[in-house]
Amino acid sequence: MAEDSNLATDVKIIQNDLGSVQNILDRFDTTINKLTDVSNTLNKLIAVQESRIDTQEKSIEIVHKRISDMKEEMHEEMSGHYETIIEELKEMKEAQKYHADEMSTRVSNLEKWRYIVMGAGMVVGFLLAESTIWDKIF
C-alpha cells in the first residue's frame, strides 16, 4: 500500500508538472504568435522603406538628368554667346583700324597743308621784304 500511495503521489506530482509544462508551452505558443506578428509587421515596414528608397532613387536620377541637361544647354548657349562676342570684337577691331587709318590720313593731309601755308607765307614774306612796294606805301 505504501507503494500505491507513493505511486499515487508521484502521479499527482507528474500531473502537476505536466500542467506546468502545458502552461509553459501555451506561453511559448503565445510568444511565437506575437513574434510572428512582429516579424510580419517588420517585413511590411521594410517593404514600405524599400519602396520609399526606390522612389527617392528615381527622383534623384530625374534630378541628376535635369541637372545634366541644364548643364549641356547652358554650355551650348554660352558657346553661342562666346562666338557672338568674338565676332563683335573682331568687327570692332576692324572698325577701329579703319577709323585709325582714316584719322592718320586726315592728320597727314592737315600737316601737308600747314607746311604748304607756311612755305607760301615765307615766300610772300620774302617777296614783301625784297620788294620796293612797301617803301612806296609807307
User: Which residue's entry shows cell 536620377?
Assistant: 61
Structure letter (DSSP) for residue 50: H
14 — pLDDT class (breaks 50, 70, 90): confident
The DSSP string of 51-117 is HHHHHHHHHHHHHHHHHHHHHHHHHHHHHHHHHHHHHHHHHHHHHHHHHHHHHHHHHHHHHHHHHHH
Q: What is the CA radius of gyration of the chain?
A: 58
d(CA 34, CA 42): 12
Angle at 106 between CA 101 and CA 108, to 5 degrees: 95
Q: In this predicted structure, what is the pLDDT of residue 1?
A: 60
| Three-state DSSP class for residue 27 | helix
Mean pLDDT of the chain: 89
Whether 134 shows a pLDDT value over 70: the answer reads no
**pTM for the model:** 0.45
Return the C-alpha cell found at 87.
565676332
Q: What is the mean pLDDT of residues 67-94?
A: 92
Return the C-alpha cell found at 78.
554660352
